Amino acid sequence: MPIVVDIDVMLARRKMSVGELADRVGITPANLAVLKNGRAKAVRFTTLAALCDVLMCQPGDLLRWEAEDISDD
């Protein structure tokens, strides 16, 4: 998928655990793991805003686009 989730990077920078982030954002650790591991199909703007608020960052610090590798096999 061309959208890469960098929540792990921000967690490391803030020295915060997944459990603490989930508690402070108000989502379950399981749902945060789905988002963190790039398996989510969508994210609510309210959740994204809460993540940014708690992590003191911008949406672009958490999500980035990477071109898909298209190979000629």
Encode pLDDT of 4-56 as tens digits: 999 999 999 999 999 999 999 999 999 999 999 999 999 999 999 999 999 99
In 3D space, the residue among 70, 69, 9, 71 whose CA is nearest the CA of residue 38 turns out to be 9
The span from the CA of 59 to the CA of 1, in Å, is: 18
DSSP E strand boundaries for 1-73: 3-5, 63-65
Contact 4, 66 (CB under 8 A): yes
Q: What is the torsion angle, in degrees rounded to the nearest 10, for the CA atoms of residue 8, residue 32, residue 18 and residue 53?
A: 80
- Residue 72 pLDDT class (50, 70, 90 cuts): low
User: How much is the pTM?
Assistant: 0.87
